[in-house]
Amino acid sequence: MINKDYELYKGDCLKVMDKLIKDNVKVDAIVTDPPYGMQFKSNHRKQKYKKIINDNNLKWLDEFVEKCDLLVKNNTAHYVFCSFHNIDKFKIAFEKYFTIKNILVWEKNNTSMGDLKGNFASKTEFILFFQKGRRLINGKRDANILKFKRTGNKYHPTEKPVALIEYLLTKFTDENQVVLDPFMGSGTTGVACRNLNRRFIGIELDEDYFNTAKSRIESV
């Protein structure tokens, strides 16, 4: 689906990114929440989610990062969510092409499950913040610990808050710029872009999540 405000593609992001590269598309920011390569399993008891596609390995990561480099404009800033499990692999992959500026910490208002008697209770996720060239911040310089309430995962097992994505966008993008989310999930980045008057390109492989994202983005 393509219109003046957004483009939504259902399919493998690597193949769709190849098409965008061939069409000489250039984006101002990548904001995405990819599979973490950790075989995520939700502990939510009331709702059972299907497994996240391609979350059992990171074989796609190097090719994905290379395509990101070909799609982004110079002097742009980008965000990729990741967990502590494989953050080292994500950092190594991205710093081949980009400058890692920071690792942002999203502090949630809940703790995860896991080993209840042999580990600390985790209430954070991490966001790789990197640039191609140098993009100056909009407004004041904030701390790298971001406090936003979790979503409750109404639409997706790893759903991120719209308010968090909106905050990230306002710091390093401007109105009418193009934002790409190659792992669109339930469309949170697209909703944030529409709220903030950014043009959005979203890609999602799973048909159910694609339809959810399409519905959410259209309804804004």
Above 60 in pLDDT, residue 166? Answer: yes
How far is 203 from 187, CA to CA, in rounded Å? 9
Average pLDDT, the chain: 89
How much is the pTM? Answer: 0.89
How far is 176 from 94, CA to CA, in rounded Å? 26
What Cα–Cα distance (Å) separates residue 191 from each residue in 4, 45, 86, 100, 203? 15, 27, 28, 26, 14
Amino acid at 33: D
Q: Which residue has the tokens 């990114």?
A: 17
What Cα–Cα distance (Å) separates residue 172 from each residue in 79, 112, 177? 10, 30, 10
Q: Coil, strand, or helix at residue 57?
A: coil
pLDDT of residue 44: 46
User: What DSSP assignment string belongs to 4-40?
Assistant: SSEEEEES-HHHHHHHHHHTT--BSEEEE----SS--
- Nearest residue to 64 (alpha-carbon basis) of 86, 97, 28: 97
Q: Coil, strand, or helix at residue 2?
A: strand
Right CATH for 6-34+50-219 from 3.40.50.150, 3.30.360.10, 3.40.50.300, 3.40.1710.10: 3.40.50.150
**What's the pLDDT tens digit per position in 61-78?**
999 999 999 999 999 999
How far is 155 from 14, CA to CA, in rounded Å? 24
**What's the pLDDT tens digit per position in 102-126?**
999 999 877 666 677 888 878 889 9
**What's the pLDDT tens digit per position in 18-61?**
999 999 999 999 999 999 875 544 444 445 555 555 556 799 99
Any idea where the domains of the chain sit in the sequence? 6-34+50-219
How far is 86 from 58, CA to CA, in rounded Å? 9
